[in-house]
Copies of this chain bind each other. A is one copy, B any other.
Amino acid sequence: MSADLHDALLAHIQEKKKTEKQQKVLEAAIRLFAEKGYANTSTAEIALAAGVSEGTIFKHYGSKDRLLLAIILPFFREMLSRMVKEAVRETFSSQTTLEQFLRGFITHRAQYLAEHRDIFRVMFKELVYNNELRDELKAYAAEQLPAALTPMFNRFRLSGELGDLPADTALNLTAAFLGGFFVMRFLFTDRAAISEEEIGEAVRFILNGLRNRGA
C-alpha cells in the first residue's frame, strides 16, 4: 500500500469514464468494505456481489489495495476541497457570524456524510486500522487545510467571537467534538441524517465551549 498511496493522493486525476462493470465493482466494494472492513472482505466476494469476474477487478484496479484507494481518495479530496472552499469564501465574506458559519459548516458536512455514509465508514475504519493510510491522509490534510483555515480563524478572532483561545486549541477542541459527533452518528449508530435541532445543539455547544473563557 505504500508507493502507490502517495502518488495517488497527489494525482488529482483521472476520473476516466468508468464502464458499467467498474461502477458495479466500486459499489459492491464500498458496501462490503463498509460493513465488514477491508481486511475481512475478499475480492471474490466483491466480484460476486458486483456480478463480475474476479479478473475484471484486477484488470481495472490492479490490486485490492488500489481499489480501496479508488474509493477513499476521491471522497477524501472532495471533502477537503469543499471545506477549503467554504473557509475561503467565509474569510472574505464579512457579513457572516461564527455561529452562521458553524451551522452551515456542520450542515454541509452532515449532508455530505449522510449521502456517502458507506464511503465514510470505509474511510474511517481504514483510517483507524491502517497507520500508513492515516499518516498519508493526515499529511495531505495538513498541507491543504491550514492555508484556508488560518485566515478564517483570524477573522473570527478579530471579530471577538473566538474568545481568547489560541487558534489551534480552538481547532482541536472543535475537531475533537465534531469528529466524535459524526462518528457517533454515522458509524456507531446508523443514522440516515442529522436533524436541524441536533445541529443547533452542536453549534451552541461549540460556541459556548469556545467563548467565555475564564468566566
Which residues of A come within 8 Å of B, CB atoms?
35-37, 39-40, 124-125, 128-131, 134, 138, 165, 169, 172-173, 175-181, 183-184, 187-188, 201-202, 204-206, 208-215
Contact B208–A215 (Cβ < 8 Å): yes
Q: How far is the CA of A147 from the CA of B215 in the complex (A)?
A: 32
B-side contacts of A206, CB under 8 Å: 209
A172-B184 contact, Cβ under 8 Å, with A37-B129, A129-B125, A209-B208: yes
Most buried by B among A124, A129, A178, A215: A129
A169 to B195, CA, bound (A): 13
Question: Can you list 21 A-B pairs with a CB-CB distance of less than 8 A?
Answer: A35-B131, A39-B39, A39-B40, A124-B128, A125-B128, A125-B129, A128-B128, A172-B184, A173-B201, A175-B184, A176-B184, A178-B180, A179-B180, A179-B183, A180-B183, A205-B209, A206-B209, A208-B208, A208-B211, A208-B212, A209-B209
Q: Could you tell me if A212 and B210 are in contact, using CB atoms closer than 8 angstroms? A: no
- Shortest Cβ distance from residue A105 to the other chain B in the assembled complex, whole angstroms: 16
Q: How far is the CA of A114 from the CA of B198 in the complex (A)?
A: 32
- Distance in angstroms from A71 CB to nearest chain B CB is 16
- Which residues of the other chain, B, contact A131 by a CB distance below 8 angstroms? 35-36
